[in-house]
Amino acid sequence: MQVMAQTQAQGTLLMNESMARYNSWRIGGKADRLYIPSSLDDLSAFLQSLDAEEPVNFVGLGSNLLVRDDGVRGTVVVLHNALNRLQMEGNLIYADAGVTCAKLARFTAKQAKQGGEFWAGIPGTVGGALSMNAGCHGGETWDSVHRVLTIDLKGTVHERNATEFVVAYRHVEMPVVNEWYVGAWFNLAVGDPEVSEQKIKTLLAKRLETQPLNLPNAGSTFRNPEGDYAARLVDACGLKGHIIGGAQISEKHANFIVNLGNATAHDIEQLIDLMRDQVKEKFGISLQQEVHVLGNKVGGAE
């Protein structure tokens, strides 16, 4: 049940809100508080109003997120459908953290910019793409980052150059803790809109052919180890199609876990552990999890 609460900020504050609406697996317990800001200034005002000890988590589309069944303590801030500014600023493209990657890809193509077509294959937001250096088909988000906007727990907005961040495959180390991305400027080369549009169409067709988009999922479960593919390793362990509860290792793509309709976070975590353990036992490779986990396990244990 959604209960509105009063705040000096102008956004939407919900109490004991189910997180199932805010992640692509469509599962998870309740957040103590969930806030949807009306603007960046509003988000700043809201953060300033919080107790210094309040746990805070930021969520975009929740497309790379597993929310545990026991829910999330503290406050969850949802940026999708909140921070959505997308525009040209000189030769740079500026995008708020709540802009979807698919929208950013189409915008870059229309602006005759090349190198951002791969974003069309990432089912998340700019904020999420920045936080994990999301990429596919040879492109990575931080390849074109010029500078970013972040916000801290006190509501202070910072503009930081890309050189302040340590960037690796599916990992970005921020220069300070307790800051979150709220926007970024991208520097892309001049391109041909028609060529970019065709690349996007080809990428989306391949995604539809190879990924189980008809069922709730969170994309790739594990990062690809160097020189190999997580899907190949999981498949070689004979795990494709394996079911625990209401969750299944996809029959279409072995690095995807799908919700068959009544999955719990516990079901999914059991499959994740099984995939990791079997690959380690058979190949001696330790798969690195790509899916971010939010909240405590049932009973409160991490």
What would the CATH number be for the domain defined by 212-294? 3.90.78.10
pLDDT in tens, 81-124: 899 999 999 999 999 999 999 999 999 999 999 999 999 999 99
Of 67, 35, 30, the C-alpha closest to 218 is: 67
Burial class (CB in 10 A: 0-12, 13-18, 19+), 298: middle
CATH no. for 3-78:
3.30.43.10
Cα–Cα distance between 219 and 234 in angstroms, integer?
A: 15
- Give the active site residues: 170, 220, 290
Q: What pLDDT sits at residue 264? A: 98
Q: Give the domain ranges of the chain.
A: 3-78, 86-209, 212-294
Q: pLDDT at residue 42 above 60?
A: yes
Q: How confident is the model at residue 7 (pLDDT cuts 50, 70, 90)?
A: very low
Question: Measured between alpha carbons, how far is 264 from 244 in angstroms, rounded to an integer?
Answer: 10
Going by pLDDT thresholds of 50, 70 and 90, the confidence category of residue 143 is: very high
What would be the CATH architecture of the domain defined by 86-209? 2-Layer Sandwich (3.30)
CA distance 124 to 122: 6
Give 200-240 pLDDT, tens digit per residue. 999 999 999 999 999 999 999 999 999 999 999 999 999 99
